[in-house]
Amino acid sequence: MKPRYLILGLIALLGLAPLVLAPYYVTLLNYIGLYALVVLGLVLLTGVGGMTSFGQAAFVGLGAYTTAWLTTAEQLPTWLQWASASPWLTLLVGVALTVTVALMLGALTLRLSGHYLPLGTIAWGLSLYYLFGTLEPLGGHTGVGGLPAISLGGISLDQGEKMFYLIWLVLGAAMLITHNLLDSREGRAIRALKGGQLMAESMGVNTFRSKMVIFVIAALFAAVSGWLYAHTQRFVNPTPFGLGMGIDYLFMALIGGVASIWGALLGAGILTVLKEWLQDWLPHLLGDGGNYETIVFGILIVLLMHCAPGGLTPWLGKWFKGRTRTAPLPQAQALPRRAAVEHGTRILQANQVTKRYGGLVANNQMNLHIDAGEILALIGPNGAGKSTLFNLLSGVDRPTSGDIHFKGLPLNGKTSRHVARLGMSRTFQHVKLLPGMSVLENAALGAHLRGHQGVIAASLNLDRAEEQQLLAEARYQLERVGLGDALQEDAASLALGQQRILEIARALCADPCLLLLDEPAAGLRLQEKQALTALLKRLRAEGMAILLVEHDMDFVMGLVDRVVVMEFGQPIAQGLPEEVQNNPAVLEAYLGGADA
Amino acid sequence: MNMPMEPCNAGTTLLQIDNLSVAYGKVEALSNASLRVGEGQIVTVIGPNGAGKTTLLSAIMGVLGSRGQVNFDGTLQSVPEVEVMVGRGLGLVPEKRELFTSMSVADNLLLGAFQRHRRGERDHGQTLKQVYDLFPRLWERREQLAATLSGGERQMLAVGRALMAKPRLLMLDEPSLGLAPLVTREIFRIISSLREQGVSILLVEQNARAALRVADYAYVLETGQIAMHGPARQLADDPRVIEAYLGLSSKHQEMLAS
Amino acid sequence: MNAQIALLLGQDGITNGAIYALLALSILLVFTVTRILLIPQGEFVTYGALTMASLQAGQPTALVWLLLALTLLDGALDLLASIRRPHAWRLPRKSLVKIAYAAAMVGLVNNLPLAQLPMALQALLTLALVVPLGPLIYRLAFQPIASASSLVLLIVSIAVHVSLVGMGLLLFGPEGARTRPFSEQGLELGPVALNSQTLWIIAASLGLIIGLFVFFERTLYGKALRATAVNRMGARLMGISPEMAGKSTFVLAALIGTLSGILIAPITTLYFDSGFIISLKGFVGAIMGGLVSYPVAALGALAVGLIEAFSMFWASAYKEVIVFTLIIPFLLWRSLTSRHVEEHE
């Protein structure tokens, strides 16, 4: 069955549900919808972005309490009185408040690495929860009651059966928005957050901004869920916004499969139904004591993490895999290109560049220059400092002293993102691709800076024209490097040599004037090396400057204009390939101590 | 192009690996590698970057999962486990040294004897003395944190720490990496002297010439496969070995011309 | 506030702070050796306190059945593993010893005159019952995924916590419990009347901290654990097995937690779900220490105790908000000073 029909069938079933189901089941479905909306945010945040949050329940509370207070308080500050007129206005206030709070909390915690982020979310999640319980106007632990019903087009949604439609409509819209967003330029940047941040920054992605975007979106989904919840229950108290619920949301995401949009629905459904079922059955087994289902949940999650850390969705096969990405239209207009640099212009100049790590000198007073239309090879034994130099030149790392000029501009203190914007693009010694994304999408990430459509355009699918251009550019570059047959394959399924070639295509998508290649020929077969040689020669003829690190001497000697040999962090020889080959110092460095 | 098999019949076999393969996902980093180290031998594995040399040692040690057979000291292991291999007398000095940087030099050495201490062999005082005799620099710096040592001293500490376990076979991964020529020379002198003390050595090196000079037997690893092997002296003069490292071959000249 | 009240609050703060400090040290230890953020640390505290309370009430605690069940599960898994690997027949014998121990505990708990035992024996029995849960939990929940990403470890840690809280409710019931103080007399120190339990707590905490220090600085096993924390691969190459290191740290964590529970049970009423908030305060301390420094973590935890005590006086309703918001400036400081590192997960 095609996914499209499946979805249509699902929508039809949902539309009929309140008409045929008993109220109990409609309520259950309402809860599933409300939870799934929060979990969807977590899928984006944790599954796609790799950031774990235990605090989503607090954002739900923020949405719920905002509307509860505004619609029931007897005395509102005058500047807020307009909002009490309708729940739709309080939704607006709730959204604004949530964005503000999320921006603040995000600024505080999103830069945190590793464990600090989840711990941070626990901290503010708890603080907000305790605030809900202690603030006087919010009714303390007893809560706020008597919320009005939402009215939509003159119909008052005063019953669960009516709220059902609104809840699932909102959820559907949120799923569509999430899907659109992930399938876009911004989406690729977001998907690079998990394990590809260094690479993404080198492609010009502002990773902090991407993190903030999904953090705010996840908070918004949670707050809207809270708003819906408040007006379904018509009553709020702090309990459903505590850390326990925050943990439950995360569990739902994990059960469904933390990286899948449909997983949000699946996880919310399974956990909610399971909870109901266990709450019915466990008292028979263990007696009426309380929430024994938590014992089972905990054990289930432990087992899930042992056996299927990816959640259940991947097990359900192709039905939930989502549609194949659209192939680029052939008639997409070409992207504008950078102004060409004249042959022989000095592109890069490194003066006396030194890098120390503690007592270790990785680069010692390195000098280097490259002109447009020139290929320079950097060779030397392992540990000579070549990769360190690459990182310094591309802004990934900063030199301890010395300076680097790129197209005449000093790069001091510039980040790799800025350097990318100026027109330098690179590949990595240890291939940095995004597994699970297609070859085409991986390459398209390189063209990030050549697109301009933002998050909102992407969410509403208004970015298609530009997206086609970006994908067309990616396809053009992939065809150019010889990967035209593998566009839709998973990047991780390529052989290592092919992955290196894909990195070159990605770098070319940025339309650079200087290309840094870290061991491009490693793992290639002879024919592929010859094809790569031909490509690099063509790029040189177009005026591009290329700096490459390589161990394969056959490859280097037949291709490059000049060679710089490094050992112990400094150049020991440079010149034409033939000169360098016969240099005794080079022979010594490569074959080892001549006379011991 | 292979040399005749079983070239070195002298001495009993200490380590014999057969058809060892390691795959990272779909990429095979080592395929069907077989090699042998005799008792009291220095055997070297040379080869270019990314050929799978480190992978080979990690698989023998049990740090990486592998397929194939590892027979150490007469005991067959289909999947070696690190703790078991250490207990049997196999030591690895890894490329990254893996020192306990925030602990003292003396503590680093002491931990080298952890397994023997657990087994009740409490003679590490004597072993420690031998290590300090071998590396007087470590004695001078015994109270310092390992993090404060220079590159050469770190390598000495890594070797010394491995020796504390009294290994019968010591595997060294790129011991000369990033070291100045003088220090490299010192390290190779020590490798030779270890053999005289009855420790067999499996040496992985990029510094091919130095490695071939100290070794009895050598294997050349290329893209995960043993490309050739033979007595070290023979390989040192083999034009193909030189070619593999510098690309100065006649074949290359022809390619340029064409 | 006068000096009298300040001293009283100070005493309270230091008492709680000492416990938080112990927990912070334990959390830090487990984290550095195994990369696990031990959220269930607090459950050892409540299990310790509630087991002690039920022993004093003369009830054969149901906890012993949990111990037996987990031991049997552990034995079953070891048996399974040894069947798969023919050369490791040593393991089942070890399992038999463990099962015999658990069975002996069942016998003891059901036959001893629990309420009449001297308090020291009750405490000992509590430790004998609760501490083995630590390595069992490591074996069952964490060992199979020891090399998983730290996110997975965190999730499992949370899941174990959730399960243990539910289990606590099942084993001990919803009522809170308090135990008898260790001794009745206090100490008059000038104008201050020092509570005897306070002295016990401070003395025990100091003793434990000194004991840990000696263990880690002077013994080979302690050094081996430190080595694992510093460089996991290096430690493996020395033949220090990660399993051993993991189980050992969980023994220590359970020991510290249970002991803390026994210590505070006479002055605080603990419920089955009190553990989380207590261990989170330990986490606040550990975070202040940047998840690396033991002394800073201990001092930080002590500060948490003091701040908590004083905010109880000034803004009692906002006590928890203040304590948990306290973490934010430290996180901010971390985020501004720590350089960006690429995660490999």
DSSP per-residue string spanning C279-317: HHHHHHHHHHTTTT-HHHHHHHHHHHHHHHHHHHHH-GG
pLDDT at B3: 42
pLDDT in tens, C46-101: 999 999 999 999 888 899 999 999 999 999 988 888 777 655 555 578 888 999 99
C260 vs C95, residue with greater confidence: C260
Q: In angstroms, what CA-CA distances link B243 with A361, A506, B211, B250?
A: 31, 33, 17, 9
Residue B163 has pLDDT above 60, yes or no: yes
Query: Which range among A315-324, B180-189, C129-138 has the greatest average pLDDT?
Result: C129-138
**C340 compared with A527, residue with greater pLDDT:** A527
Does the residue B145 lie in any domain? yes
Query: Is C285 or A57 the better-scoring residue by pLDDT?
Result: A57
Cβ distance C238 to B111 less than 8 Å, yes or no, reads yes
Closest partner residue to C233 among B98, B103, B161, by Cβ? Answer: B98
Q: Is B250 left (phi over 0), alpha (psi -120 to 50) or beta?
A: alpha
Which is higher by pLDDT, C89 or B145?
A: B145
pLDDT, position A330: 58
**Min CA distance, A588 vs chain C (Å)?**
32
Supply the range of the domain harboring residue B46: 13-89+167-257
Q: Which tens digit of pLDDT belongs to each residue from C135-155?
A: 999 999 999 998 888 888 999
| Greatest Cα pair distance in chain A | 95
Mutate to test the interface with C, among A135, A286, A295 (most CBs of C within 10 A): A295
Q: What percent of chain B has pLDDT over 90?
A: 41
Inform me whether the pLDDT recorded for C319 exceeds 60.
yes
Task: Note the pLDDT of residue C343.
Answer: 38
Residue C345 confidence (pLDDT): 32
Burial class of C113 by CB neighbour count within 10 A (0 to 12, 13 to 18, 19+): exposed
Quick one: pLDDT at residue B249? Answer: 39
Strand partners, A355: A363
- Report yes or no on B153 lying in a domain: yes
**Residue A131: is its pLDDT beyond 50?**
yes
Whether residue A558 and residue B184 make contact (CB cut-off 8 A), yes or no, is no
Q: Which of residues 540-569 of A touch C (CB under 8 A)?
A: none
Supply the CATH number for residue B54's domain.
3.40.50.300
Tell whether B238 and B141 lie within a shared domain: no
**Partner C contacted by A108 (CB < 8 A):** yes
Asked which of A292-296, B16-20, B159-163 is least confident by mean pLDDT, the reply is A292-296
Q: Is A439 helix (H, G, I), strand (E, B) or coil?
A: helix
- Assess whether pLDDT exceeds 90 at residue A426: yes
Nearest CA in chain B to A569: B178
Above 80 in pLDDT, residue A251? yes
- What's the angle, vertex CA A561, arms to CA A557 and CA A563, rounded to 5? 65
Q: Supply the mean pLDDT for chain A.
A: 86
Cα C235 to Cα B97, B141, B192, C89: the distances in Å are 11, 21, 27, 25
Please name each of the domains of chain A with its CATH number: 26-320 (1.10.3470), 346-591 (3.40.50.300)
Q: What is the pLDDT, as a whole number, of residue B250? A: 38
Task: Using the 3D structure, point to which of B166, B189, B208 is the last residue of a domain.
Answer: B166
Residues 193-252 of C with CB under 8 A from B: 220, 223-224, 226-227, 230-231, 233-241
Same domain, B74 and B128: no
Number of domains in chain B: 2
Task: Tell me, rounded to whole angstroms, the distance of Cα A446 from its chain centroid.
Answer: 14
Give the highest mean pLDDT range of A1-10, A332-341, A475-484, B26-35: A475-484
Confidence (pLDDT) at B34:
93
- Residue B129 within a domain: yes
∠ CA A417-A419-A425, nearest 5°, is: 95
- The per-residue pLDDT for B10 is 53
Confidence of residue A260 (pLDDT cuts 50, 70, 90): confident
Q: Is the pLDDT at B233 greater than 80, yes or no?
A: yes
**Is the distance from CB of A515 to CB of A374 less than 8 angstroms?**
no
pLDDT of A354 > 80? The answer is yes
Judged by average pLDDT, the poorest of A73-87, C29-43, C77-91 is: C77-91
pLDDT of A381 > 80? The answer is no
Chains with 3 or more CB pairs closer than 8 angstroms to C? A, B
B35 lies in the same domain as B105: no
Contact B100 C226 (CB under 8 A): yes
Percent helix, strand, coil in chain A, to 5, is 60, 10, 30
pLDDT of residue C322: 82
pLDDT confidence bin for C238, thresholds 50/70/90? very high
Task: Give me the mean pLDDT over the A512-521 stretch.
Answer: 91
Please name the helix (run of DSSP H) or strand (run of DSSP E) that holds residue C190, with its range, or none: none
For the cut 70, the answer to whether the pLDDT of residue A324 exceeds it is no
Smallest Cβ distance to B94: which of C224, C237, C240? C237
In chain B, the N- to C-terminal Cα span, in Å, equals 26
Instruction: With CA atoms as reference, report the closest residue to C317 among A437, B258, A527, A140.
Output: A140
Residues B73 and B191 in one domain: yes
Choose the final residue of a domain: B166, B194, B225.
B166
pLDDT for A596: 34
- Whether B45 has a pLDDT exceeding 60, the answer reads yes
Residue A121 has pLDDT above 80, yes or no: yes
Question: Does A8 or A360 have the greater pLDDT score?
Answer: A8
Q: Which of B150, B206, B209 sits opposite A382 (nearest CB)?
A: B206
Query: DSSP string of chain B?
Result: -PPPS----SS-EEEEEEEEEEEETTEEEEEEEEEEEETT-EEEEE--TTSSHHHHHHHHHTSS--EEEEEETTEEESS--HHHHHHHTEEEE-TT----TTSBHHHHHHHHTHHHHHTT---HHHHHHHHHHH-HHHHHTTTSBGGGS-HHHHHHHHHHHHHTT--SEEEEE-TTTT--HHHHHHHHHHHHHHHHTT-EEEEEES-HHHHHHH-SEEEEEETTEEEEEEEHHHHHT-HHHHHHHH---HHHHHHHH-
- Confidence bin at A35 (pLDDT 50/70/90): very high
pLDDT, position C73: 94
Given a cut of 90, whether residue A591 has pLDDT beyond it is no
* A 113-152 near C (Cβ less than 8 A): 113-116, 118-120, 122-124, 126-127, 130-131, 134
Q: Compute CA distances B22 → A413, B19, B56, B224, C322, whole Å.
A: 42, 10, 8, 9, 54
Q: Residues 6 or more apart from A2 whose CB is under 8 A from it?
A: none
Chain A CB contacts of B256 below 8 Å: 557-558
Task: Indicate if B79 and B125 belong to the same structural domain.
Answer: no
Question: What is the per-residue pLDDT for A3?
Answer: 67
Cβ atoms of residues A591 and B239 within 8 Å: no
d(CA A408, CA A330): 38
> Three-state DSSP class for A144?
strand
pLDDT band at C186 (very low <50, low <70, confident <90, very high): low
Stretch A74-79: mean pLDDT: 82
What tokens does C1 get?
């506030």
In chain A, the percentage of residues whose pLDDT exceeds 70 is 94
B174/B251 same-domain check: yes
Domain assignment present for B7: no
Inter-chain touch A359–B150, beta carbons under 8 Å: yes
Are B53 and B139 part of one and the same domain? no
Q: In terms of domains, do B66 and B190 share one? A: yes
Contact A224, A170 (CB under 8 A): yes
Between A95 and A530, the higher pLDDT residue: A95
Chain A environment of B180 (Cβ under 8 Å): 568
A207-244: pLDDT as tens digits: 999 999 999 999 999 999 999 999 999 999 998 999 88
Residue whose C-alpha is closest to residue A97's, from A61, A123, A147, A72: A61
B215 and B147 in a common domain: no
Tell me: do B123 and B155 sit in the same domain: yes
Neighbours of chain B (3+ CB pairs under 8 A): A, C
Query: What's the pLDDT at C338?
Result: 59
- Distance separating the N- and C-terminal Cα atoms of chain C: 51
Neighbours of chain A (3+ CB pairs under 8 A): B, C
Assess whether pLDDT exceeds 90 at residue B177: no
The CA-atom distances, in angstroms, between A226 and each of A57, A568, C220 are 9, 60, 55
Considering only the beta carbons, identify the residue of A552, A553, A591 that sits closest to B209. A591
Which helix H or strand E contains C123, and what residues bound it? helix C119-130
Amino acid at B231: P
CB contact under 8 A, A596 and B151: no
Q: What is the pLDDT of residue B252?
A: 40
Q: What does chain B come to in residues? A: 258
The secondary structure element, H or E, covering residue C258 is: helix C242-264
What average pLDDT does range A139-159 have in this prediction? Answer: 84
What is the count of residue pairs from A and B with beta carbons less than 8 Å apart?
73
Instruction: Give the pLDDT band (50/70/90) at residue C249.
Output: very high
Q: Looking at residue A316, what is its pLDDT?
A: 67
pTM: 0.85
B186 within a domain of the structure (yes/no)? yes
Q: What residues in B contact C230, CB-CB < 8 Å?
A: 100-103
Q: Which of B116, B143, B166 is the last residue of a domain?
A: B166
Window from A139-143, C18-22, C228-232 with minimum mean pLDDT: A139-143
Dihedral angle at the C-alpha atoms of B53, B56, B62, B66, nearest 10 degrees?
140
Residue B27 domain-assigned?
A: yes
Do A423 and A508 meet the contact criterion of CB atoms below 8 Å apart?
no
| pLDDT mean over C328-345 | 60
Over range B99-121, report the average pLDDT.
Answer: 93
At residue C211, the pLDDT reads: 92
Residues B49 and B148 grouped into a single domain: no
Partners of residue A406 on adjacent β-strands: A348, A409
**Beta carbons of C166 and A298 less than 8 Å apart:** yes
Average of per-residue pLDDT across A413-439: 90
Average pLDDT, chain B: 84
Is residue A321 scored above 60 in pLDDT? no
Average pLDDT over residues A252-262: 84
pLDDT in tens, B57-103: 999 999 888 888 899 988 877 777 898 899 999 999 998 889 999 89
Under an 8 A CB cutoff, do B209 and A493 touch? no
Distance between C31 CA and the closest CA of chain A, angstroms: 10
Domain membership of residue B4 (yes or no) is: no
Judgement on whether residues B161 and B138 belong to the same structural domain of the protein: yes
Contacts of B99 in chain C (CB under 8 A): 231, 234
Q: Residue A122: pLDDT above 80?
A: yes
How many C-beta atoms surround the C-beta of residue C69 within 10 A? 12
Q: What is the pLDDT of residue A291?
A: 76
Q: What is the mean pLDDT of residues C264-281?
A: 90
Q: What is the ipTM of this complex?
A: 0.89
Task: Compare CB distances from C238 to B86, B96, B97 and report the shortest one's residue.
Answer: B86
A593/B181 touch (CB, cutoff 8 Å), yes or no = yes
Q: pLDDT confidence of B240, banded at 50, 70, 90?
A: confident
**Position B107 confidence tier, pLDDT thresholds 50, 70, 90:** very high
pLDDT tens digit string along B125-139? Answer: 899 999 999 999 999
| pLDDT the model gives residue B197 | 87
